[in-house]
Structure 1
Amino acid sequence: MQTIFRRWLTPGDLNGFLGLVVDNLSILAFLSTALIGIFGFPADIVFLRMFPGTALGVLLGNLAYTAMARRLARLTGREDVTAMPLGLDAPTSIGLSLLVLGPAFVGFKQAGMDPHAAGMATWQLGMASLVIMGVLKTVLSFFGASVQRHVPRAGLLGSIAGIALVLMGFLPLIEILKQPVVGFAGLGIVLYALVAKGRLPFGLPGVLVAFLLAALLYYVLGPLGLLGSGYRAPPVWQWRFALPWPTLEWTHGMAYAMPYLPLILPFGLLMVVGGINVTESARAAGDDYSTRDILLVEALATLAAGFCGGVAQTTPYIGQPSYKAMGARSGYTLLTGVVIGLGGVLGYVSNLVELLPLSVLAPILVFVAIGMTVQAFEATPMRYAAAVVFSFFPAIARMVTIKLGDPTYVSFEHFAALYNDRSHGLSELAVIAVLGNGFIITSMLWASFVVALIDGRVARAAGIVLLGALLTSVGLMHSATLAGSVYLPWQLDAGAQAMVWQFAGAYLALALILLLLSLQRLDNAKKSV
């Protein structure tokens, strides 16, 4: 019995389990905190409908990756094979909650729905979004290498770093500073353990210690009145039993999802490229997994989650070599899948995440944001640094729009009036909003365009800019609607059409200039011959 136990579970697996399960819990906690705390979402829909299906994706994906690791160990005769870690993707889960689900819920209420009906419609939208991403990832899993060839790494990593910097980094940093005694302590531990690689007592994981220390400060200082009005007493523990049964509710959300395609589709694309990168990372560490199989498993896990009520997609995590270094094998993914999967069904996951206020969670999100932004520069040649930086601007515009349009400060009607004020040309607010609409695609395209220029491929740059004009004309980039929806330009009113043609015309004009410059370069090349 002891031999069997050691075969499936090593001390390194326990360390790996603590790190991987905390990562997943932190994302679930942020998802619920953002929806319930920021947007006033009905908690029962989050915990009884969204969580079970979302956790099911983590369970199925980790079980499959565990089996793949065991199979690779048998084929190679090695006992040190480490499973690929799988969990909920932080950038897209946070982006989906802040940019899609939360705003959609507010929009449904403004359209006259009561909070529960608006929550159900938003849940259906979230399921549909996951199904769309799952289908896209399933198809692209067979063409991963082609995706990497046609989209420069600066574009892919720059766009996701933009999300990380302003949505995962700056906004959570504000939450830290709302309760600085709690949040700064946690952030300091995270920076010490994960950035500076400092050793904690007994070799404890930095994320776990940061959570425990920040939570301890919160629940000790809060009742003493030392945290001001931001303290909330711990909720009463309750069992929330809910099986993630397959449902067709997602079909009702397809119509709701269409306006959000400029965000949903890039989220799926980013996971394909990320899966390719982490598979290469694992291969370099000695575990040669099939890239197609890694991508296909996580795509099918995302689809299964969407069919069963989930709203956050799974992804293979980039830290496989780190888990290998700590001695983890295949037991840690098995444990994580079972704990998270059963937690979604039995409800103890929802109780755990309720114990973690945003000021406790925010430090790990800031660390992830720092890491992803640094990676965008480290993983691309230095000559493309300008392209990475240029790709940040649309994300910054989106963040400014989110804060300016916060209904806590500005009514929707007043915000819309300022947006539509064209008494002196395009209003500054309209320009910021239009730049931020479809910002992920815009970031990819802008970085790709600059990379082509740096490489001296001016004609290719012109083609990329021409693609920008096409995407702008239908709202996949720079949507002229306040909601950022897609459209056919003749469906818009005259004012919005004028905005579309100005932005699309700008891309067309630049494409023409670049084509002329490319002819000049070609002519110079002929003369030199």
Structure 2
Amino acid sequence: MIGLLVFVVGLPKDMVYGRIAPAFGLAVFAASVWYTIFALRVVKATGRKDVTALPSGPSAPSIFTVTFLVILPVFLQTKNAEFALQIALVWCFVEAMILVAGSFLGDVIRRNIPRTVLLSCLAGLGMLLLAMNPMLQSFETPTVAFVVMILIFINWFGKSPIFKKIPTGFLLLAVGTALAWAFGLQSPEAIKASMTSFGFTPPSLHIGSFIEGLPHAVPYLASAVPLGLANYVFDLENIESAHAAGDPYPTRSVMLANGLSSTLGMLFGNPFPVTVYVGHAGWKSIGAGIGYTLATGTSMLLVTLFGLGAFLLAVIPMVAVAPILIYIGIVTANQVVRETPKNEVPVIFVCFFPWIANWALTLTNNVLSAAGTSAKVVGADVLAKKGVYYVGLTNLGNGAPLGSMIWGCIAIFAILDKPIRGAVAAVVGAVLVLFGVIHSPSVGFAQPAAMPLVYAYLMIAGVFLLKHYLNQRSEIAEALPVVAAPRQLQESD
């Protein structure tokens, strides 16, 4: 986050380190306090001592979206960092309010969307957004990452840990850091430079910035609605993941905590919402209990209050941390395999496709941008001749969180022969496409490029309705009494 704001956008360092970062740490800390309270309530209600608190963290997609779709364009256009932050604060508030409003429907949605779908969507997120890039980073620096990864396989996946008396998390960081310094991947100069950010910078209220941004924020809020819905889905999936791992948490309370924590951070100058972070099953598998999420939130707050972020990255390389994210992604995906009945397994792979397309679309756009061009300039036909089906990537990859859920529902209701519910899922998909929430690069009503997708979803609904009609006819035919033929009746007489 700090790297994007300082080195990509070009915001003043004193704004990033002195205002945004402390408020960001405060928001994560507030959410972690709530999650700790929720975990203590579960312990009190059940008497269990193996409860794992929910993991708290920033919404990673929101960090990129608000940076590149809000802060960067506004700053480039106006050269006014204060104004760009004001717009972003309003954007964050809209995200938070979607979570607050949606908290009253969360349990209803969880009851009506099969667990296989929720966990499959989360598995796609874990593998493609959480684990894929760290895996690529690991193969860029194999002399460090490979040793860390094999230690993970032995200690966390295996049954016989190596160096049993040393906590594995500490072992991974220590080994990764030592190897990075031994192979010259870290620089003493970077440590010296990082010390310039030291200092105590407590968060301060910036309500005026939020109010001043309200009249000017509307043109930039289009991305807030679909991403707010996506964050809402993330929370649902992560809460369901915790429930599947044995830790039931109240959906409404968790979502209210996220919305209120994000609002608190926004009032102090943080434009990035917080969420239930992915990987509950992974943290639980390595022995995390109640205190770890509070320790994480406290650490985040201290790092941002005292400007320690740059220093930590100068000492501990990201490549030493990256394999841990790979592990969490794998465990997240493995959870859905364990929890899914055999006949529903195809749903897992159906849910993966939007996430794969989303990752590939992001990669393609970044490559074209680095080359100083875009898909529009190159042309979709030219890309298609090289095997890059850009239109398909755009349609399938945009709105992946909701698109994954829609297609998961369509697939599972087809498999379980629940055509009415399948028709409802298809109609919901058509409505989301109609308003540009999924399968479109931007929000908009009845965009010409999206209409074929709207019609296609409605056709799926029609097929489900036909299946429902045929099912009813079959049930009626089976219920009718068998009437004997006339000759058989005569012989009987």
Q: CA 1:71–1:512 in structure 2 vs 1: closer, same or farther (change >3 Å)?
A: closer
**Structure 1 residues 41 and 377, CA, compared in 2 at 3 Å: closer, same or farther?**
farther
* Aligned with residue 398 of structure 2, among 437, 444, 462: 437
- Letter matched to residue 179 of structure 1: T
* Match among 146, 149, 153 for residue 184 of structure 1: 146
Any residues of structure 2 matched to 1:380-529 within 5 Å, and which? 380-406=340-366, 410-411=370-371, 413-419=373-379, 428-479=389-440, 484-489=441-446, 497=448, 499-529=449-479
RMSD, matched Cα: 3.8
Query: What residue in structure 2 maps to residue 308 of structure 1?
Result: 268
5+ long unaligned stretches in structure 2: 480-493
Give % identity.
20
Residue 365 (structure 1) shift? 1.6
Mapped to 2, the partners of 1:204 and 1:120 lie a distance apart of 49
Aligned counterparts of 1:77 and 1:147: Cα–Cα separation in 2: 25
Per-residue deviation, 1:412: 5.8
- For 2:173 and 2:233, how far apart are their aligned partners in 1? 32
Return the alpha-carbon distance in structure 1 between the equivalents of residues 288 and 383 of structure 2: 65
Structure-2 change in CA distance of 1:390 and 1:344 (3 Å): same
Q: What secondary structure does 1:88 align onto?
A: strand
Measured after TM superposition, the shift of residue 355 of structure 1 is 3.5
For the residues of structure 2 that align with 1:500 and 1:291, how far apart are their CA atoms? 33
Unaligned runs of 5+ in 1: 1-30
Residue 70 (structure 1) shift: 6.5
Q: State the alpha-carbon separation in 1 of the partners of residues 464 and 294 from structure 2.
A: 53
Question: Shift of residue 278 of structure 1?
Answer: 2.6
Q: Residues 16-55 of structure 1: matches in 2 within 5 Å?
A: 31-32=1-2, 39=8, 42=11, 44=13, 45-55=15-25
Amino acid at match of 1:62: S
Q: Is the 8 A contact 1:33 1:357 kept in 2?
A: no
Counterparts of 2:46 and 2:458 in 1: how far apart (Å)? 58
Instruction: Report the alpha carbon displacement of residue 457 of structure 1 after superposing the two structures with TM.
Output: 0.9
Contact (CA 8 Å) 1:190, 1:207: kept in 2 or not? no
Query: 1:456 is paired with a residue of what secondary structure?
Result: coil
SS of 2:345 mapped into structure 1: helix
1:446 CA displacement: 0.2
Going from structure 1 to structure 2, the CA distance change for 1:292 and 1:467 (only over 3 Å counts) comes to closer
Whole-angstrom CA distance in 2 between matches of 1:215 and 1:186? 10
Q: 1:410 to 1:128 in 2, by over 3 A?
A: same
* Residue of 213, 228, 240 corresponding to 1:264: 228
Q: Deviations over 1:253-312 (max 9, x none)?
A: 56424224323312123214423553675657xxxx766545543443233223323314
In 1, distance between residues paired with 2:477 and 2:66? Answer: 54
Instruction: Please list the CA deviations of residues 464-486 of structure 1 after superposition, one character each: whole Å capped at 9, or x if unmatched.
Output: 1122112111111111xxxx110
Contact persistence 2:357–2:396 (CA under 8 A): yes
C-alpha displacement of 1:458: 1.5
Cα drift, residue 390 of structure 1 = 0.6
The 8 Å contact of residues 186 and 363 in structure 1, kept in 2 or not, is answered as yes
Q: Deviations over 1:326-371 (max 9, x none)?
A: 59565x5554443332332222244324434432332112112111
CA drift at 1:450: 0.7
Normalization by structure 2: what TM-score? Answer: 0.81
Q: Is the 2:399–2:438 contact (alpha carbons within 8 Å) kept by the matching residues of 1?
A: yes
How far residue 60 of structure 1 moved from its aligned partner, in angstroms, is: 2.3
**Alpha-carbon distance between aligned partners in 1 of 2:28 and 2:225, rounded to the nearest angstrom:** 24
SS in 1 for 2:366: coil
Correspondence 1:58 to 2:28: yes
- In the other structure, the counterpart of 1:84 is 53
Alpha-carbon contact 1:59-1:338 (below 8 Å) kept: yes
Pick closer, same or farther for the CA change 1:155–1:176 going to 2, 3 Å.
same
- The one-letter amino acid of 2:411's match is V
Deviation at 1:319, TM superposition (A): 4.8
Distance in structure 2 (CA, Å) of the matches to 1:83 and 1:36:
35
Paired amino acid for 1:61: A
Query: Cα distance 1:33–1:383, how it changes in 2: closer, same or farther (>3 A)?
Result: farther
| Alignment CA distance shift 1:43-1:208 (3 Å) | farther
Q: Deviations over 1:141-191 (max 9, x none)?
A: 344321211222233222222222222222221111111112222222223
Q: How does 1:87-106 map to 2 (within 5 A)?
A: 87-88=56-57, 92-93=59-60, 95-98=61-64, 101-102=67-68
Structure 1: how far apart are the matches of 2:438 and 2:31? 33
Q: Say whether the 8 Å CA contact 1:141–1:272 is kept in structure 2.
A: no
| Structure 1 stretch displaced more, 341-350 or 366-375 | 341-350
User: How many residues are paired up?
Assistant: 468
Paired with 1:471 and 1:166, the residues of 2 have a C-alpha distance of 23
Q: 1:199 to 1:303 in 2, by over 3 A?
A: farther
What TM-score results when the alignment is normalised by the length of structure 1? Answer: 0.76
The question of whether the paired residues in 2 share the 8 Å contact of 1:53 and 1:309 is answered with: yes
Quote the offset at 1:100 in angstroms.
Answer: 5.0
Provide Cα deviations, 1:373-419, integer angstroms capped at 9, x if missing partner.
Answer: 11222233232211121111111111111111115765564422245
Tell me what 1:236 maps to: 194
Q: Is the 8 A contact 1:59 1:341 kept in 2?
A: yes
Indicate how the Cα distance of structure 1 residues 379 and 471 shifts in structure 2: closer, same or farther if over 3 A, else same. Answer: same
Aligned letter for 2:362? I
- Give the superposition deviation at 1:449: 0.7
Q: 8 Å contact 1:82–1:320 — kept in the other structure?
A: no
Distance in 2 between residues matched to 1:523 and 1:507, nearest whole Å: 25
Matches within 5 A, 1:113-192: 114=79, 117=81, 121=84, 123=85, 127-192=89-154
User: Which amino acid is 2:56 matched to?
Assistant: G
Q: Give the whole-Å Cα distance in 2 for the aligned partners of 1:169 and 1:320.
A: 15
User: SS where residue 258 of structure 1 aligns?
Assistant: coil
Separation (CA, whole Å) in 1 of partners of 2:23 and 2:341 = 40
Q: Kindly provide the CA deviation profile for residues 123-153 of structure 1, in whole angstroms up to 9, marking residues without a partner as x.
A: 5565445433432333343443212112222
Which amino acid in 2 is paired with 1:236?
Answer: S
Distance of 2:254 and 2:436 partners within structure 1: 33
Contact 2:53 2:290 in 1 (8 A): no
CA distance in 1, matches of 2:409, 2:465: 16
